[in-house]
A and B are shown apart, each in its own frame.
Chain A
Amino acid sequence: MRIRYVGRIAHFKGKTLYEIACNLKNFGEGRVVTRLNFLNRYPEKSYYRLTKVQPDLTDLKLREGVAWGEKIFRGDNLGVRKIETGQKTDWKLIPKEEETDFCKLTEKDKRDQRIVPATVPFPPFLEAWLKQDLRRKGKDDSAPFVLNLRIEKSFTNRAKLSTEQ
C-alpha cells in the first residue's frame, strides 16, 4: 500500500541540528553547520562552528536540546553563542572536504556598513502645526525642526550614526 501523507507542507527543507549531531561522534564538536535559510536569504556567508551540543535524547522527535557554537553571521564573527534554533529542520552539515573552501570569507562577504544620518526631519503636518504654534506665541520659527535618531544597538544591528566614528 502506498502511503500518502495529508497535511500542511513544511516550510523548511533540511534536518534538525540534533538529528545531524546524533549521527556524529561527540555530537559534532568542531564541525561546521549552516542554516539553509541564511544561505538563501543573504549574499554573505553565514555558518556555525559547533563547540558543544547537548541533544535531549529522551525526546522522540530529536527536536529538543541545547547547543553552543562560534557564530559567523553574514561575514562577521560574532563569537561563541548559544544556538537556540536547533529545533528548526533547516540545518545542513558541511563535509570536512569542503570546510576550508566554504569557511573562507572573501570581499564579497563583507557587509556594507550602514551609516544613518544623526537627525531626521519632523513629520510635515506636525512641523507645520508646531511652527504655527510658535508664531502665535510670537517666538522665532526659523530654526530647523529635527529629530535626533537613536539606534537600538544589538549584535545584529550595528548601524552607525553619521556623526559617530
Chain B
Amino acid sequence: MAASAWKTCCSTLKHVKLSTKGVSFSARRYLLSEAYSCQDAWKQRLESSTLQQGSLNEFAVQLRERFEKEKKASVVDVDILANRLHEIEVTNAEFMEEILHRFRRSVDSVPVNDSIVYAVVRAYIDLGLTDRLLLLMKDKWNYGIFPNDHGVSVLLDHLIKENKYQDAAQVAYEMMLQEDFNHPITYLLSLYGCSQHYTSISLDPPEEKQVDPDEEEDWIPVKYIRFPVYDDHFDIKDERFLMGKTLYMLGKTCQDGVLGRSLQFMGLGMYHKFEKAIKLLENWEKDQPGVLLLNEAVVKFEESLVKAETRPDEEPEIDMGLRTIDDEIKLLRLTADEKDNFIQQLNEIKSRIQEKVKDEDLQNMVENFTKSQISEHEQSDIEKQTNLISTWTKERETLVDRQIWEFTRRQKEEELKTKLQDLQKKEEMLRFFELRDEIIIAKQKAPKVKPAEVEEDEEVIIAKRKKRRQYRPAV
C-alpha cells in the first residue's frame, strides 16, 4: 500500500514543473553578486526630469512621424526612448525596434551612442525579451547593438541564471566575432556558458540540400555578379564552427594550462582545422612537461575528425551565376586522403601521450575556475559603470536643454519674420499714395508668377492624361 502510494506520488511529482521565476534558492548558481548590476544607480537615472515627461507611447509615435517626414531625429530623443523602454508593453516591442532600425539608417547613428545601446540591453532584460534581443544583436547592420563590457556581463549573467545556456553561447559567439575577450568577467561568463552548452551541439554534419540539375532556373539580370565571399569569420553559419572557434579563442588566454590546452584542442576540432590542431599538439608534446590535455578533449576531437564531411578531389567549377556561399564553404572541406592522413597522425600521437592525458570533467573544471576568479574583478566594474551612468545622465540633460533653447530660438525667429511681413503690409496700406510710383515700378520688376490652373472636371483630367501618354516613347 505504502509502496504503491509512494510510486504514484513520485510519478505525479515527475510531471510537476516548479516555477522558479522571481524566487531565489540558495542552491542556484550565482556567479556574480547582486550589486554588480548597479540596479540602484540605474533606477536613479529615472529621477531626472528629462525622463519623466509625458506618455511614452505618444512620444514614440511622434518620433516615428518625425522619421517618416525628415528621415532623421536627434540622438537625444532616441536616447530618451531607449532609457524608458522598460515601460513598454511586450506587444509594442516591434514598433520600438522599427524606430531603432530607422535611427540606425539615419545620418546621426554614426558614431554609435553607448548609452542608447546599454539602455536597450537593460530594458530588454527587464522585460524578459532576451530572444528578441539576441536577434537584434545578430543583425549588426540594421541595429548595431554592441553593448559595452558591463552590459554584456549583465546579459550573460541573466541568461546563465535562467539556465538559457544556448542563448549565453550565442552572446559568446558575438564576442568571439569581435575578437574581444579582454574583459575578465565577460571572458569568464562566456567560458561558463559555452562549457555548459557545447555538449548539446551534435557533431554530425548538417543535412545537405540535394541539387537537382534539371530544376528550372530563375534568371535574374544584374549589372555585376559579385563573387560570393566566405571570410571564415563573420560568414560562419554552422554552430559547430562557431562554438569551436569560440572555445579556441577562450582557451588561448586561459591561465590554467591544462584547461586552456584542452579548450584549444577541442575547439579546433569542432572548427575542422585539424592540421593546425595536430601541429599545436606536437609542439606542446615537446615543450610542456606533465599533464597536457583532458581525455574529453581528445575524444571530442576524434569524434569531430571522424564525422567531418569530405569533398571529392576534383569537381568541375560551377558557373559564376549559380555560385553561392555554400559552394565556397565546401571548398574548405577535407579530401578523403587528407582525412585518412589526419586520423593516422592522431592515432600516432594518442599512443605517445597516453600518460599525459588526464581524465577529469571539463564542465566541473570550468565551474571551479570561474567561481574562484570572478569576484576579484567586480568592484572596479561597478564603480566604472556608476560613473558612466551619471555622465550619460548629465550629457542627456545638457543636450535636451540645448535642443529646447534652439527650438525657442527658431520659434522667435519665425515670429519676428511674420511680424516684419505684417509691418510691411501695413506700411504699404498706409503710405500707398506717397509711394505709388515706387510700387508700380516694383510690380513691373517683380518676376511674373502664374497661379497654377487646377482642372476640376475629372473627365477633362482623364482625357488630358490619355493624350500625354499617347506620345510616350515605347520602353
Which residues of chain A have a CB within 8 Å of any CB of chain B?
1-10, 12-15, 20, 22-27, 54-58, 62, 89, 92-93, 95-97
A14 to B140 alpha-carbon distance, docked (Å): 19
A26 to B113 alpha-carbon distance, docked (Å): 10
Q: Which residues of B contact A3 (CB under 8 A)?
A: 217-218, 220, 322
In-complex Cβ contact of B320 among A9, A20, A58 (8 A): A9
Pairwise interchain contact B229-A14, C-beta atoms closer than 8 A:
yes
Pairwise interchain contact B217-A4, C-beta atoms closer than 8 A:
yes
Pairwise interchain contact B223-A22, C-beta atoms closer than 8 A:
no
A41 to B211 alpha-carbon distance, docked (Å): 37
Chain B stretch 67-118: residues in CB contact (< 8 A) with chain A: 71, 104-107, 109-112
Pairwise interchain contact B229-A4, C-beta atoms closer than 8 A:
no
Which residues of chain B have a CB within 8 Å of any CB of chain A?
71, 104-107, 109-112, 140-141, 144, 146, 177-180, 211, 215-227, 229, 231, 233-234, 319-322
Distance of A141 from chain B, by nearest CB (Å): 60
Closest to A92 in B: B231
Pairwise interchain contact B222-A5, C-beta atoms closer than 8 A:
yes
Number of A-B contacts (CB under 8 A): 101
Closest 8 CB pairs of A and B: A25-B146, A7-B222, A13-B227, A4-B321, A5-B321, A10-B224, A1-B218, A4-B217
Pairwise interchain contact B104-A57, C-beta atoms closer than 8 A:
yes
Pairwise interchain contact B179-A96, C-beta atoms closer than 8 A:
yes
Pairwise interchain contact B234-A54, C-beta atoms closer than 8 A:
no
Pairwise interchain contact B110-A7, C-beta atoms closer than 8 A:
no
Q: List 20 A-B contacts (CB under 8 A).
A: A1-B217, A2-B216, A4-B217, A4-B218, A4-B321, A6-B225, A7-B224, A10-B224, A15-B231, A23-B177, A24-B178, A26-B146, A27-B112, A54-B110, A57-B105, A57-B107, A57-B109, A58-B105, A62-B141, A97-B179
Distance of A103 from chain B, by nearest CB (Å): 15
Pairwise interchain contact A4-B227, C-beta atoms closer than 8 A:
no
A64 to B456 alpha-carbon distance, docked (Å): 46
Q: Which residues of B contact A93 (CB under 8 A)?
A: 231, 233
Q: Which residues of A contact B234 (CB under 8 A)?
A: 20, 23
Pairwise interchain contact B319-A2, C-beta atoms closer than 8 A:
no
A116 to B381 alpha-carbon distance, docked (Å): 61
Q: Which residues of B contact A27 (CB under 8 A)?
A: 110-112
Pairwise interchain contact A12-B107, C-beta atoms closer than 8 A:
no
Pairwise interchain contact A8-B321, C-beta atoms closer than 8 A:
no
Q: Which residues of A contact B320 (CB under 8 A)?
A: 5, 9
Pairwise interchain contact A8-B105, C-beta atoms closer than 8 A:
no
Q: Which residues of B contact A8 (CB under 8 A)?
A: 223-225
Closest to B212 in A: A2
Closest to B234 in A: A23
Closest to B221 in A: A6
Closest to A55 in B: B110
Q: Which residues of B contact A56 (CB under 8 A)?
A: 107
Q: Which residues of A contact B112 (CB under 8 A)?
A: 26-27
Q: Which residues of B contact A54 (CB under 8 A)?
A: 110-111
In-complex Cβ contact of B225 among A9, A15, A20, A26 (8 A): A9
In-complex Cβ contact of A4 among B107, B178, B322 (8 A): B322
Pairwise interchain contact B217-A2, C-beta atoms closer than 8 A:
yes
Pairwise interchain contact A22-B140, C-beta atoms closer than 8 A:
yes
A6 to B321 alpha-carbon distance, docked (Å): 6
Distance of A94 from chain B, by nearest CB (Å): 10
Distance of B182 from chain A, by nearest CB (Å): 11
Distance of B220 from chain A, by nearest CB (Å): 6
Q: Which residues of B contact A6 (CB under 8 A)?
A: 219-222, 225, 321
Q: Which residues of A contact B146 (CB under 8 A)?
A: 25-26
Given contacts A3-B217, A4-B321, contact A95 B233 (CB under 8 A): yes
Pairwise interchain contact B110-A4, C-beta atoms closer than 8 A:
no
Closest to A54 in B: B110
Q: Which residues of B contact A13 (CB under 8 A)?
A: 227, 229
Q: Which residues of B contact A2 (CB under 8 A)?
A: 211, 215-218, 322
Given contacts A3-B220, A57-B110, contact A25 B178 (CB under 8 A): yes
Closest to A52 in B: B111
A124 to B219 alpha-carbon distance, docked (Å): 60
Closest to A22 in B: B141
Distance of A74 from chain B, by nearest CB (Å): 24
A74 to B99 alpha-carbon distance, docked (Å): 46
A156 to B369 alpha-carbon distance, docked (Å): 53
A95 to B457 alpha-carbon distance, docked (Å): 69
Distance of A37 from chain B, by nearest CB (Å): 13
Pairwise interchain contact A4-B221, C-beta atoms closer than 8 A:
no
A6 to B71 alpha-carbon distance, docked (Å): 35
Given contacts A4-B218, A57-B105, contact A10 B227 (CB under 8 A): yes
Distance of A88 from chain B, by nearest CB (Å): 12
Q: Which residues of A contact B224 (CB under 8 A)?
A: 7-10
Distance of B141 from chain A, by nearest CB (Å): 5
A128 to B92 alpha-carbon distance, docked (Å): 89
Additional 9 contacts, C-beta under 8 A, given A4-B319, A10-B225, A15-B229: A2-B218, A4-B220, A7-B221, A25-B178, A27-B112, A54-B110, A57-B104, A57-B109, A96-B179
A54 to B105 alpha-carbon distance, docked (Å): 13
Q: Which residues of A contact B144 (CB under 8 A)?
A: 22
Closest to A18 in B: B141
A40 to B144 alpha-carbon distance, docked (Å): 33
Distance of A122 from chain B, by nearest CB (Å): 48
A58 to B106 alpha-carbon distance, docked (Å): 6
Q: Which residues of A contact B233 (CB under 8 A)?
A: 93, 95
Give the most central of A20, A23, A62: most B CB within 10 Å: A23
Q: Which residues of A contact B321 (CB under 8 A)?
A: 4-7
A15 to B232 alpha-carbon distance, docked (Å): 13
Closest to A62 in B: B141
Closest to B227 in A: A13
